[in-house]
Amino acid sequence: MLSLDPLSSEWDCPLGSKDLDREEGPWRGSAGLPPAACFPGPWRQDVGLDCKGSPEGAEARAWTVYYYNLLQSCLQQAGLPETQDRSQVPRTGYPGAEVTLCILGPPSTFLSVLLEGGVQSPGNLLLCLSPAWLTKVPAPRQPGEATLMVSKAVSFHPGGLTFLDDFAPPRRATYFLAGLGPGPGWGREAAELARNLTCPTGATAELARLLEERLLMRQLLSQQGGVAVPATLAFTYKPPGLLRRGHASPGLHLVELSGKEGQESLVKEEVGAFLHSEALASASQVAVKLSGWRWLGRQTLRLHPRAEPDAVVSTVMALLEKLEEEESVMVEAMCPPAQLPFPDGPLRGPELAVRICAMVCRTQGDRPLLSKVLCGVGRGDRPLRHQNTLPRTLDAALAQCGLREAAQVEVVWRRVKTAAEAALAAVLALEAGLSAEQRGGRQARTDFLGVDFALTVVGRELTPVLLKLNCGLCLEACGALEGLWAAPRPGRAAEEAAAAPLVETMLRRSAHCLMEGKQLLVIGAGGTSKKFVWEAARHYGLKLHVVDADPNHFVSQLVQTFIHFDVTEHRKDEENAHLLAEQVRARGLQLDGCFSFWDDCLVLTALLCQELGLPCSPPAAMRLAKQKSHTQLHLLCHQGPPWPAPSLHAVPCCPLQTEADVERAIHQVPLPGVMKLEFGSGAVGVQLVKDGPQCREHFTRISRDLQGETDYPGIGLGWGNAMLLMEFVEGTEHDVDLVVFGGQLLAAFVSDNGPTRLPGFTETAACMPTRLAPEQEAQMVQAAFRCCLGCGLLNGVFNVELKLTGCGPKLIEINPRMGGFYLRNWILELYGVDILLASAMVACGLRPALPPHPRARGHLVGIMCVLSQHLQVLSSTTVRDTLQALHDQGLLHYNLLEESLVPGKYEEPFCNVACGGHTPAEACHRLLGLCQGLGIDGPNYPVAHFLSHFK
The separation between CA 412 and the C-alpha centre of its own chain, rounded to angstroms, equals 26
Buried/exposed code over 669-688 (b: 16+ C-beta within 10 A; e: otherwise):
bebebbbbbbbbbbbbbbbb
Return phi, psi of residue 792, to 5°: 90, 15
Predicted confidence band of residue 2 (pLDDT cuts 50, 70, 90): very low
Residues in Cβ contact with 220 at an 8 Å cutoff, skipping those fewer than 6 apart: 246, 426, 427, 430
pLDDT at 488: 42
Pairing of strands 300-305, 20-22: antiparallel
Residues 626/603, Cβ–Cβ less than 8 Å: yes
pLDDT at 210: 87
Q: How far is CA 83 from CA 75, 100, 159, 165, 279, in A?
A: 8, 19, 12, 10, 54
pLDDT at 51: 84
Return phi, psi of residue 20, to 5°: -85, 140
841 vs 480, higher pLDDT: 841
Cα–Cα distance, 178 to 36 (Å, whole number): 23
| 9 pLDDT higher than 50 | no
Per this entry, what is the length of the chain?
951
| Residue 317 DSSP SS3 | helix
Cα–Cα distance, 644 to 653 (Å, whole number): 21
Buried/exposed code over 149-162 (b: 16+ C-beta within 10 A; e: otherwise):
bbbbbbbbbeebbb
pLDDT at 751: 97
Residues in Cβ contact with 407 at an 8 Å cutoff, skipping those fewer than 6 apart: none
**For 378-499, where are the alpha helices, taking DSSP H only?**
394-400, 406-432, 436-439, 472-483
295-347 pLDDT, tens per residue?
A: 776 656 788 999 999 999 999 999 888 888 888 899 998 888 776 554 444 44
| Average pLDDT over every residue of 667-678 | 91
Q: For residue 192, count other CB atoms closer than 10 A to its CB.
A: 15
| Average pLDDT over every residue of 397-405 | 83
pLDDT at 491: 35
User: Counting Cβ atoms within 10 Å, is residue 55 exposed (0-12), middle (13-18) or buried (19+)?
Assistant: exposed
Q: At what angle do helices 692-705 and 659-668 cross, to 10 degrees?
A: 150
**For 433-524, where are the alpha helices, taking DSSP H only?**
436-439, 472-483, 500-515
Residues in Cβ contact with 267 at an 8 Å cutoff, skipping those fewer than 6 apart: 235, 313, 316, 317, 320
pLDDT at 185: 62
pLDDT at 278: 85
pLDDT at 244: 60
| Average pLDDT over every residue of 160-184 | 89
Q: For residue 235, count other CB atoms closer than 10 A to its CB.
A: 25
Supply the DSSP symbol for 498.
T
Predicted confidence band of residue 189 (pLDDT cuts 50, 70, 90): confident
Bridge partners (DSSP) of residue 256 are 236
Q: For residue 39, count other CB atoms closer than 10 A to its CB.
A: 14
Cα–Cα distance, 194 to 185 (Å, whole number): 16
Pairing of strands 327-333, 300-305: unpaired
| 494 pLDDT higher than 60 | no
Cα–Cα distance, 729 to 749 (Å, whole number): 23
CA atoms within a 13 Å half-sphere pointing along the CA-CB vector of 511: 28
pLDDT at 496: 74
pLDDT at 347: 45
pLDDT at 299: 59
Instruction: Give the highest mean pLDDT range of 34-38, 91-95, 455-459, 710-714.
Output: 455-459
Predicted confidence band of residue 223 (pLDDT cuts 50, 70, 90): confident
Cα–Cα distance, 367 to 493 (Å, whole number): 26
Residues 753/734, Cβ–Cβ less than 8 Å: yes
Q: How far is CA 164 from CA 95, 155, 160, in A?
A: 18, 7, 13
Cα–Cα distance, 812 to 575 (Å, whole number): 31
Quick one: which of 667, 158, 177, 144 has its CA closest to 442?
Answer: 144
Query: Does the domain at residues 352-484 carry the CATH identifier 3.90.550?
Result: no
Q: How far is CA 683 from CA 627, 699, 768, 831, in A?
A: 15, 15, 21, 27
899-912 pLDDT, tens per residue?
A: 888 777 777 888 99
Q: For residue 168, count other CB atoms closer than 10 A to its CB.
A: 14
Cα–Cα distance, 812 to 628 (Å, whole number): 9
pLDDT at 57: 82
Bridge partners (DSSP) of residue 545 are 521, 561
pLDDT at 490: 36
| 381 pLDDT higher than 70 | no
Q: What percent of the chain has pLDDT over 70?
A: 91
CA angle at residue 344 from 338 to 349, to 5 degrees? 25
Beta-sheet strands, E only, within 210-250: 232-237
pLDDT at 380: 67
pTM for the predicted model, two decimal places: 0.89
Return phi, psi of residue 888, to 5°: -65, -30
Residues 145/194, Cβ–Cβ less than 8 Å: no
Q: What percent of the chain has pLDDT over 90?
A: 54
Cα–Cα distance, 678 to 627 (Å, whole number): 5
Residues 134/193, Cβ–Cβ less than 8 Å: yes
Cα–Cα distance, 39 to 69 (Å, whole number): 7
pLDDT at 339: 63
74-105 pLDDT, tens per residue?
A: 999 888 999 999 999 999 876 667 899 999 99
CA angle at residue 448 from 446 to 452, to 5 degrees? 115
| Residue 553 DSSP SS3 | coil
Beta-sheet strands, E only, within 532-672: 543-548, 561-564, 593-595, 653-656
pLDDT at 173: 96
| Residue 855 DSSP SS3 | coil
Q: For 762-775, give the secondary structure using H, E and C.
A: ECCEEEECCCCCHH
| 419 pLDDT higher than 90 | yes
**For 86-137, where are the alpha helices, taking DSSP H only?**
107-120
| 783 pLDDT higher than 80 | yes
- Cα-atom radius of gyration of the chain, to the nearest Å? 32
| Average pLDDT over every residue of 352-362 | 89
Bridge partners (DSSP) of residue 944 are none
Quick one: which of 606, 635, 599 has its CA closest to 622?
Answer: 606
853-868 pLDDT, tens per residue?
A: 888 989 999 999 999 8
Q: For 257-300, give the secondary structure using H, E and C.
A: ECCCCCCHHHHHHHHHHHHCCHHHCCCCEEEEEEECHHHCCCCE
Architecture of domain 517-616: 3-Layer(aba) Sandwich (3.40)
52 vs 617, higher pLDDT: 617
Cα–Cα distance, 113 to 156 (Å, whole number): 10
Residue 651 carries which side chain, given as an amino acid letter? V
pLDDT at 907: 79
Residues 823/799, Cβ–Cβ less than 8 Å: yes
Average pLDDT, rounded, for the chain? 86
